[in-house]
Amino acid sequence: MRTAYREQMAGLNSVLGSMCELAGGAMERSTQALLQADLAVAEEVITDHEKITSLSVHAEEQAFALLALQAPVASDLRAVVSTFQIVADADRMGALALHVAKVARRRHPAHALPEEVNGYFAEMGRLAVQLAATAREVLNTQDPNDALRLQDDDDAMDDLHRHLFTVLMDREWRHGVAAAVDVTLLGRYYERFADHAVLIGRRVVFQATGKTPEQLVDVGEY
Amino acid sequence: MRTAYREQMAGLNSVLGSMCELAGGAMERSTQALLQADLAVAEEVITDHEKITSLSVHAEEQAFALLALQAPVASDLRAVVSTFQIVADADRMGALALHVAKVARRRHPAHALPEEVNGYFAEMGRLAVQLAATAREVLNTQDPNDALRLQDDDDAMDDLHRHLFTVLMDREWRHGVAAAVDVTLLGRYYERFADHAVLIGRRVVFQATGKTPEQLVDVGEY
């Protein structure tokens, strides 16, 4: 029973990892579409979104099957329940990448971004892709140390996001209100994408140790 | 066993309803803080946020206890799992109300909003409070018809949100980029608050009928 549980749980975490991989790939292409005003790439992300949605359904079915067949208890039960929450996070990451692609499409053939902020979005895109890759990796390895490190990349994202706002709020901003609105929403999409990757990391810590990151720190284990 | 399950599930849904009530109350006061630049009310929302967080923990514990003690199967199992998702939605509604309060606090003693858009936010606030109240009600009654009606209020929210953007994008906007950024983010917070209330309605439909709203429409039950 216990072996079957472990195997099914590993299979389920691997599906969740694939969701993160798809979300990261979508954000990579959305960022490219945004920076290069590339309609074809934006359309690709929009079409491919369905793959993430169908993996969500598949992952939830697997999690229900695991609950029904293995009837896990105590910390195993909590670990399975956390997979439903991870599905929701990874699904949301995909939706946020989709939002970015849709802004690129809406503004095409114009660029949604003034050139001045391209560097910020290139870097936020890079961090988002990295966060999704780390989330995928820790879902597979269940390594709580690596999971905790997602927080560092998120701190870098938050710094970028804050700097972006100082650029927007600067009296020198010459790109008008419409561009400012786009930049505000786009910045928020990247920031939220990162937040969900961090949440996945927190849930992996919980799956692997039965403790929240804060509890781990309290007992001095990390 | 079945009676115990039903009683515990009703108790759990009532806790989830209380979370919606707190989130709605927070959004009501956040809107007041925003419209009147009322620092004391904003601080109150920020201090009270902890109540929603602790109800989340309490609700999750109850849901785990229900899984462990009643070992529900089939549609009952799905209903219990959906309560974890409802906790996440209601918790997020509280966080979004908190974001609004923090903007009001950050801009105090100034008003965050130009007077021109006060009417939009008063109405978005009213809709948000109403959505939270309906979410609470359907959690208690488990009435799928009422749950489906949450969608209508969300459509009204989306319309307001769209109009707000036309005001922002208008060449006549005279309030500068900083105010536009605040209005953009605030508008997004109200819109997402409404989205989560709708998601709660969808999950209640699922708890009550074992079907998604789309499946219900397909089979002609609604």
How far is the first Cα of chain B from the last one, in angstroms, to the nearest whole number?
Answer: 31
pLDDT along chain A (222 residues), means of 10: 88 97 98 98 98 96 93 90 96 98 97 96 98 97 92 93 92 90 97 97 90 75 52
Architecture of domain A2-213: Up-down Bundle (1.20)
Calculate how close chain B gets to A142, using CA atoms only, in Å.
22
**CATH code matching the domain that covers B2-214, chosen among 3.40.50.1000, 1.10.3720.10, 1.10.10.60, 1.20.58.220:** 1.20.58.220
Q: Tell me: the pLDDT tens digits for B102-131?
A: 999 999 999 999 999 999 999 999 999 999
**φ and ψ at residue A156, rounded to 5 degrees:** -65, -40
Number of neighbouring beta carbons within 10 Å of residue B74: 10
Name every chain B residue with its beta carbon within 8 A of the beta carbon of A67: 77, 81
Across the interface, whether the CB atoms of B177 and A178 are under 8 A apart is answered no
Spatial separation of the C-alpha atoms in residues A26 and A93, rounded to whole Å: 9
Name every chain A residue with its beta carbon within 8 A of the beta carbon of B78: 64
**φ and ψ at residue A217, rounded to 5 degrees:** -65, -40
Q: Tell me: the pLDDT tens digits for B166-204?
A: 999 887 899 999 999 999 999 999 999 999 999 999 999
Calculate how close chain B gets to A68, using CA atoms only, in Å.
7
Residue in A closest to B73 by C-alpha: A68
β strands within chain B, DSSP E: none
DSSP B210: S
Asked if residue B74 lies in contact with residue A64, where contact means CB atoms within 8 angstroms, the answer is: no
Task: Using an 8 Å CB-CB cutoff, list residues of chain B that contact chain A.
Answer: 63-64, 67-68, 71, 73-74, 77-78, 81, 84-85, 88, 165, 168-169, 173, 177-178, 180-181, 184-185, 188
Asked if residue B13 lies in contact with residue B21, where contact means CB atoms within 8 angstroms, the answer is: no
**Domain spans in chain B, listed from the N-terminal domain onward:** 2-214
Spatial separation of the C-alpha atoms in residues A41 and A48, rounded to whole Å: 11
Residue of A85, A173, A188 with shortest CB distance to B185: A188
